[in-house]
């Protein structure tokens, strides 16, 4: 590859909102046949809002005060949604200590003297907490595409918080462009399978890897590469960084975390996924100039 054509391609990319950090990305992109796409913050806006709060003892505000206290120490987008909901309800978050985050699962700590865990099913299963009292309600919320996090206090189930994150307005057209280009699109998410399926169905995505921990996201990328595919991974979160680094090309959302951007060869300013198809066209044009 002649450096000149690549430099022209990098410059043209910048005009299109496609920042190329690794010049090889422009050589590889035209060969990509599989794109793995993170759900939260990549397909969706990454601006989740609380849509339901359910406390088994009927005191939703008390549950939110506890949840907001613990989530105040988390940088996860779901934590931001819980804090915003507490604020909207005029609640002061309870004081928390011993905060710890179980990546891809949730958060734990002490709030107002009680042991609190907030997160997905697996976090509750790790702690032997029975979810049966809220199982039907959780299933219904997930069918609507909401993410459900459970709240446990002193080892017992206390309630749930449902959070919804709208799909980006630009996502359907961006996926259509990739499919028209013959690219296979697979959703990769740490979120619950039922929630992931509801969001995927609305987008016409039929391949889903749900409930994946960060290391498993990277394993999916590696497995597809071993099978002979040229793989691009698009993501925004801390949890996506290993998979971005493991792909032939990592594509970070400009709206995402610094660690995702540092792990990627390409960054899409504004987080518009249409940039993937645009970048492939740019890659083809660049390589045509070289050949
Ligand atoms: P994604 O791959 O969709 O971006 P993550 O891997 O970041 O999702 O998170 C997976 C799941 O872990 C979330 O859907 C949620 O159930 C749980 N989780 C992660 N962080 C938190 C948190 N701060 N509070 C509550 N739940 C959390
Ligand atoms: Mg994400």
Mean pLDDT by 10-residue block, N- to C-terminus, for the chain (291 residues)? 81 93 91 96 93 97 98 93 98 97 93 96 96 97 96 98 96 96 95 95 96 93 98 93 96 93 95 93 88 78
Q: What is the pLDDT of residue 1?
A: 55
Domain end marker among 124, 144, 164: 164
Q: What is the ipTM of this complex?
A: 0.94
278 CA to centre of ligand 1 in angstroms: 30
Return the DSSP state at 43.
I
Q: How far apart are CA 71 and CA 108, in angstroms?
A: 9
**Does the global pTM surpass 0.80?**
yes
CATH number at residue 56: 3.40.1110.10
147 CA to centre of ligand 1 in angstroms: 9
Q: What is the pLDDT of residue 4?
A: 85
Atom of ligand 1 nearest to the CA of 217: 2
- 177 and 152 inside one domain: no
Sheet holding 249-253, edge to edge: 18-20, 266-268, 249-253, 231-235, 34-38, 184-188, 207-209
Q: What domain range is 194 assigned to?
A: 6-45+167-290
Q: Ligand 1, residues 191, 200, 253: which to mutate, most atoms within 8 A of Cβ?
A: 191
Domain end marker among 141, 164, 187: 164
Q: What is the pLDDT of residue 290?
A: 80
Pocket flag, ligand 1, residue 40 (CB < 6 Å): yes
Q: Are 277 and 174 in contact (CB under 8 A)?
A: yes
Q: Are 178 and 187 in contact (CB under 8 A)?
A: no
Is residue 1 one of the residues assigned to a domain? no
| CA quadruple 26, 30, 34, 39: dihedral sign | positive
Number of structural domains found in the chain = 2
- 41 and 24 inside one domain: yes
Q: What is the pLDDT of residue 7?
A: 87
Domain end marker among 135, 164, 193: 164
């Amino acid at each position: 590859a002649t450096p000149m054509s690549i430099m022209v391609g990098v410059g043209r990319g910048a005009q299109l909102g496609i920042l190329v950090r690794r010049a090889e990305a422009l050589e590889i992109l035209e060969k990509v046949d599989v794109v793995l796409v993170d759900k939260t913050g990549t397909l969706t806006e990454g601006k989740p809002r609380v849509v339901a709060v359910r406390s088994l003892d009927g005191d939703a505000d008390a549950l939110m005060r506890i949840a907001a206290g613990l989530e105040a120490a988390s940088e996860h987008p779901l934590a931001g949604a819980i804090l915003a909901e507490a604020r909207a309800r005029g609640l002061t978050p309870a004081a928390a200590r011993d905060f710890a985050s179980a990546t891809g699962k949730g958060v734990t700590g002490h709030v107002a003297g009680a042991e609190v865990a907030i997160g997905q099913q697996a976090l509750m299963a790790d702690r032997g907490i029975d979810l049966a009292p809220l199982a039907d309600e959780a299933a219904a919320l997930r069918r609507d595409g909401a993410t459900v996090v459970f709240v446990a206090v002193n080892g017992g189930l206390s309630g749930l918080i449902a959070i919804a994150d709208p799909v980006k307005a630009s996502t359907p057209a961006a996926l259509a462009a990739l499919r028209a280009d013959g690219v296979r699109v697979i959703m990769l998410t740490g979120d619950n399978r039922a929630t992931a399926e509801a969001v995927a169905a609305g987008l016409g995505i039929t391949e889903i890897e749900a409930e994946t921990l960060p290391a498993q996201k990277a394993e999916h990328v590696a497995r597809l590469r071993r099978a002979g595919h040229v793989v691009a991974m698009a993501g925004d979160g801390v949890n996506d960084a290993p998979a971005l680094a493991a792909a032939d090309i990592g594509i970070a959302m400009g709206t995402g975390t610094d660690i995702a951007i540092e792990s990627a060869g390409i960054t899409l300013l504004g987080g518009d996924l249409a940039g993937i198809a645009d970048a492939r066209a740019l890659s083809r044009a660049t390589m045509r100039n070289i050949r």
